[in-house]
Amino acid sequence: MHVTRILAVRHGETAWNHDTRIQGHTDIDLNDTGRWQAARLATALADERLTAVYASDLQRAFNTGAAIARVQGLSVQAHSGLRERHFGALEGKTWAEIETQHPEEAKLWRSRVPEWSPPEGESLQVLQQRILHTLQALASRHIGEQIALVAHGGVLDILYRAATGLELQAPRSWLLKNAAINRLLWTPESLTLVGWGDVAHLEAPHDHAGALLDEKTT
């Protein structure tokens, strides 16, 4: 059967996640909690047979992917097509700052208007096209195999919607946790959801709690 199994993973926590600052294409690395999450994730996936590990070229995703790849005896492969949505002039701001300084943009963002883009940024429609094109390109290389895609909250959101048939404007009712394990099946005709949001590997006692993703902390 022409199927590629996909482990889709959001990067570990960063300082900007913790502070609820919008990251987008801003290249923020993992914090201590994020590095712990990446290590736990890599250990949890040690018994999985992965043919390849692809990651966004932004540090937070690339270094999460590198932790997985090391345990697998692979090298992480950077791919800019897996980058987070570009939030342009809104990057670096907290949601509270955006609501105060850019109320019209905040309203359009909350409404998930597909064609709206932040100033100098990327619309949901453009993001969707980019992510689905990248998925097609990577998954088609690995028919009959299993790969990991390590990316960002906005990327995972697009994959979830594609696998469940939800429109871009549909409200989000699913969690996108840092370093959670999400499982998908890709064929040339479809994308299917197998499992979502597995964080059992992160539930050991630790000084820092992993951050949840919402619309404000991508």
Q: How far apart are CA 211 and CA 5, in angstroms?
A: 26
Q: How far apart are CA 84 and CA 21, in angstroms?
A: 14
Amino acid at the residue 190: S
CB atoms closer than 10 angstroms to residue 63: 19
Would you call 189 a catalytic residue per the annotation?
Answer: no
Q: Are strands 212-213 and 176-177 parallel, antiparallel or unpaired?
A: antiparallel
Closest CA to 16 of 6, 8, 26, 7: 26
- Using CA of residue 215, residue 35, residue 73, residue 48, what is the dihedral sign? negative
Would you call 97 a catalytic residue per the annotation?
Answer: no
Q: How far apart are CA 57 and CA 60, in angstroms?
A: 8
Q: List phi, psi (to 5°) of 62.
A: -60, -45
Catalytic residue among 84, 91, 105, 122: 84
- The token duo for 156 is 């995972």
Angle between helices 32-44 and 59-72 (to 10 degrees): 30
Residues annotated catalytic, as ranges: 11, 84
